[in-house]
């Protein structure tokens, strides 16, 4: 597919929109279907598309495997960290009311933050899995 | 904002969630660390704080009754509740103490058995497994149980697959298939209960279930939960995943899993069937005791027999584990306080003895790379401390007085005699199977002490970093075998709470 000009240009144009859509699915997740998990998968799809068209090596220059693994761990720390912060602010674990003066906004920020953690982890795990499968039989042996 | 004075009170109030969150958050940090040693010490630190928290929780419960923690400030039954009573405080202490001993042990053992680039990931999976097991135990929410079950199981599959023999991969895969079937059955059971009652909170369910006892859905849910949990705890016909998984996993993983994973599954069985459904429903309507009794007896006898003929000592102990699980279920099938006390005591005692035994075998693997019974010939002279630990652990397994094994068997036989009549035969059977345990332990002792070492390569004693944790567990085997007042007291209290049901 690397020779097809339409595919190459098309993938390039689509990629930023896919990433935008992933963020939309995440930030609009508390009003409409969606959330961190779906957003993470869509975000991975953007890079998977690039890898299919431009090859694995090109994508790994932009998104190195160590970074996807870091993301996988970072997301859990974000999620758990929100809980720790609410505990330090004197509420129970994941008591989002602590995050703002008005509990309504506190709940809103809290859910967005933990979903961000989910997004980062899902993105990291999905991309790592994609790299593992796509790289099979190439780098090793 | 928190002042310095109320700081301690605030921390005490947060202990139930910290019990799970400390290892859960240490895991991803381990995963990104580059150095195996750094990850190891973080894991040690996490596991020791877990033990401190578990002991503090047990103290709180003994002093002031049930501790309830509302996650996210949502009030149960809507929100997720962590609910600690004497039963799960006891199981938390078991899991946490084994974790606190096995983690420092694994530092040297893992460096020897696992490729260095995988060591940080090993500790990440290990801590996830630990937090999963603690989570299952501490939560008061049915669906939360399932979530933590998945966390602990998935990390356990990964841990077993890290074993050095290639067959560790097939063993892990087989465990994955059977474990997933078990987990699916459990979630189907939970789903059916949710359909019938609209609640997932355990205490709430215990109140709602008597209203729908007659429905077939509840009975089907009972069946699904029973089969699913028995797969997880490796009750006799559903144990096929266990021997290979234990035999091929890295040594510290075997020691950890053998002393915690099946114990937590037994706890789930007790919690679901006695606390939630209630002793009356389980024993009178569903005849749980009459279903479990034959399975337990067959497990004890047949698996002890199979263990006698094993040549790989790790496998031998794995089969012995299935037999020992039979003892725990046997105690439950007595449907009496004494029987349950025996079950709960054996949870703790078996964790101590199998932990010590598998850790001694880990020392052997460290030095001679094999636990085949012929490879262990003459080992008593070459590794005196390791084999002495094995002998004490083995005596405990047999049930010799002054070891914890004796205490378990004592209560088990007491429970059988208490029921009288044909149950005397069960007591005799317990004695007979103890002799069978003596046979398989003796085979190893005979090889190690009476057979001559034929090779010529010199082998020294295992390093202190492996021996010290092993001997901590050996000492615990002796200490709690001599002074069983405290452990038996807690176990009896827990048994009474279980028989009374969650509401009271």
Per residue in B98-124, pLDDT tens? 999 999 999 989 888 888 888 999 999
Best residue in B5, B8, B28 for a mutation probing chain A (most A CBs within 10 Å): B28
Q: What share of chain B is helix, strand, coil (3-state, %, to 5)?
A: 80, 5, 15
* Residue carrying structure tokens 């078991």: B94
Instruction: Give the separation between CA B169 and CA B160, rounded to whole angstroms.
Output: 8
Instruction: Give the separation between CA B260 and CA B246, rounded to whole angstroms.
Output: 13
Q: Which long-range contacts (CB under 8 A, 24 or more apart) does A97-104 make?
A: A97/B73
Average pLDDT over residues B21-41: 92
Longest dimension (CA), chain A: 60
Asked whether the predicted pLDDT for residue A139 surpasses 60, the reply is no
- CA angle B245/B348/B255 to nearest 5° reads 30
Residues 6+ apart with CB under 8 A from B381: B453
pLDDT at B17: 92
pLDDT at A136: 80
CB contact under 8 Å between A90 and B1, yes or no, is yes
Q: Residue B83: left if φ>0, alpha if ψ -120 to 50, beta else—which one?
A: beta
Q: Could you give the percent of chain A with pLDDT greater than 70? A: 95
Please, are residues A73 and A66 in contact by the beta-carbon 8 Å criterion? no
- CA angle B471/B57/B258 to nearest 5° reads 40
Determine how many CB atoms are found less than 10 A away from the CB of residue A32: 9
Domains in chain A: how many in total?
1
Nearest CA in chain A to B31: A73
Asked whether the predicted pLDDT for residue B34 surpasses 50, the reply is yes
Nearest to A83 among B21, B29, B70 (CB): B21
Nearest CA in chain B to A78: B25
Nearest CA in chain A to B28: A73
Tell me the pLDDT tens digit for each residue of B241-275.
999 999 999 999 999 999 999 999 999 999 999 99
* Residues of chain A neighbouring B31 (CB-CB closer than 8 A): 69, 72-73
Instruction: Give the separation between CA B478 and CA B406, rounded to whole angstroms.
Output: 10
Asked whether the predicted pLDDT for residue B2 surpasses 60, the reply is no
Nearest CA in chain A to B21: A80
0.90 surpassed by pTM: yes
For chain A, the residues whose C-beta falls within 8 A of a C-beta of chain B are 69-70, 72-74, 76-77, 80-81, 83-84, 87-97
* Residues of chain B neighbouring A96 (CB-CB closer than 8 A): 72
pLDDT at A31: 79
Tell me the pLDDT tens digit for each residue of B393-433.
999 999 999 999 999 999 999 999 998 888 899 999 999 99
Cβ-Cβ pairs closer than 8 A, A with B, add up to: 53
- If pLDDT is split at 50, 70 and 90, which confidence band does B467 have? very high
Domain residue ranges in chain B: 287-504
Residues 47-86 of B with CB under 8 A from A: 69-73
Instruction: Give the separation between CA B484 and CA B482, rounded to whole angstroms.
Output: 6
Question: Does the CB of B32 have a partner CB in chain A at under 8 Å?
Answer: yes
Q: Residue B268: left if φ>0, alpha if ψ -120 to 50, beta else—which one?
A: alpha
- If pLDDT is split at 50, 70 and 90, which confidence band does B459 have? confident
Best residue in A87, A109, A118 for a mutation probing chain B (most B CBs within 10 Å): A87
Nearest to B24 among A80, A87, A88 (CB): A80
Structural domain that includes position A81 = 5-134
Q: Burial of B56 by CB count in 10 Å (0-12 exposed, 13-18 middle, 19+ buried)? A: middle
Read off the tokens for B498. 């279980």
Read off the tokens for B169. 């991969």
Residue A36 resides in a domain:
yes
Please, are residues B243 and B315 in contact by the beta-carbon 8 Å criterion? yes
ipTM score of complex: 0.90
Tell me the pLDDT tens digit for each residue of A38-76.
999 999 999 999 999 998 999 999 999 999 999 999 999
Distances (CA, A) of B281 to B206, B210, B288: 11, 9, 9
Segment (H or E) for B83? strand B81-84
């Amino acid at each position: 597919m690397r020779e097809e000009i339409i595919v190459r240009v098309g993938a390039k144009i689509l990629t930023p929109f896919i990433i935008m859509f992933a963020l939309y699915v995440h930030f609009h997740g508390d009003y409409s279907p969606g959330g961190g998990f779906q957003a993470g998968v869509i975000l991975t799809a953007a890079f998977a598309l690039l890898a299919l068209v431009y090859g694995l090596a090109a994508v790994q220059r932009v998104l190195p495997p160590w970074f996807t693994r870091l993301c996988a761990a970072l997301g859990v720390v974000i999620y758990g960290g929100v809980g720790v912060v609410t505990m330090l602010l004197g509420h129970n674990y994941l008591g989002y009311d602590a995050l703002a003066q008005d509990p309504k906004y506190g709940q809103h920020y809290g859910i967005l933050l933990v979903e961000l953690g989910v997004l980062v982890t899902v993105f990291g795990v999905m991309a790592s899995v994609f790299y593992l499968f796509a790289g099979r039989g190439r780098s090793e042996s | 904002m928190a002042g310095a004075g109320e700081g301690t009170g605030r921390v005490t109030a947060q202990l139930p969630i910290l019990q799970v969150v400390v290892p859960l958050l240490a895991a991803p940090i381990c995963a990104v660390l580059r150095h195996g040693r750094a990850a190891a010490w973080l894991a040690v630190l996490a596991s020791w704080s877990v033990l401190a928290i578990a002991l503090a929780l047990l103290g709180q419960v003994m002093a002031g009754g049930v501790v309830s923690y509302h996650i996210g400030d949502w009030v149960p039954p809507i929100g997720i509740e962590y609910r600690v009573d004497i039963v799960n405080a006891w199981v938390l202490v078991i899991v946490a103490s084994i974790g606190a001993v096995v983690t420092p042990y694994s530092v040297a053992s893992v460096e020897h058995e696992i490729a260095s680039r995988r060591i940080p990931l090993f500790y990440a999976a290990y801590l996830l497994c630990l937090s999963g097991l603690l989570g299952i135990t501490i939560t008061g929410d049915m669906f939360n149980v399932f979530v933590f079950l998945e966390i602990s199981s998935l990390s356990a599959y990964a841990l077993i697959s890290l074993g050095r023999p290639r067959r560790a991969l097939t063993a892990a895969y087989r465990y994955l298939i059977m474990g997933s079937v078990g987990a699916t059955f459990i979630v189907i059971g939970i789903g059916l209960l949710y359909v019938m009652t609209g609640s997932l909170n355990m205490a709430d369910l215990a109140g709602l279930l008597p209203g729908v006892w007659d429905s077939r859905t509840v009975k089907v849910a009972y069946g699904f939960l029973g089969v699913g949990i028995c797969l997880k705890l490796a009750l006799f016909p559903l144990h096929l995943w266990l021997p290979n998984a234990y035999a091929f996993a890295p040594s510290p993983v075997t020691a950890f899993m053998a002393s915690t994973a099946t114990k937590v599954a037994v706890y789930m069985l007790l919690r679901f069937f006695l606390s939630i459904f209630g002793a009356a429903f389980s024993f009178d309507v569903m005849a749980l005791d009459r279903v479990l009794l034959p399975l337990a007896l067959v497990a004890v006898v047949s698996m002890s027999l199979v263990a006698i003929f094993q040549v790989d000592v790790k496998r031998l102990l794995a089969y012995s584990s299935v037999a020992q699980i039979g003892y725990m279920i046997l105690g439950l099938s007595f449907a009496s306080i004494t029987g349950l006390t025996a079950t709960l005591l054996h949870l703790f005692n078996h964790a101590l003895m199998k932990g010590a035994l598998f850790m001694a075998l880990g020392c052997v693997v460290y030095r001679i790379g094999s636990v085949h019974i012929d490879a262990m010939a003459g080992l008593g002279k070459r590794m005196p401390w390791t084999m002495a630990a094995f002998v004490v652990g083995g005596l405990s397994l047999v049930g010799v007085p002054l070891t914890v094994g004796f205490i378990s068997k004592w209560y088990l036989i007491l429970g059988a005699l208490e029921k009288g009549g044909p149950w005397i035969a069960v007591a005799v059977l317990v004695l007979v199977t103890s002799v069978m345990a003596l046979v398989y332990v003796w085979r190893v002792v005979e090889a190690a002490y009476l057979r001559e070492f034929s090779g010529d390569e010199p082998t020294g004693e295992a390093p202190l970093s492996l021996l010290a944790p092993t001997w901590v567990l050996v000492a615990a085997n002796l200490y709690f075998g001599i002074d069983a007042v405290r452990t038996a007291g807690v176990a009896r209290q827990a048994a009474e709470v279980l028989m009374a049901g969650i509401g009271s």
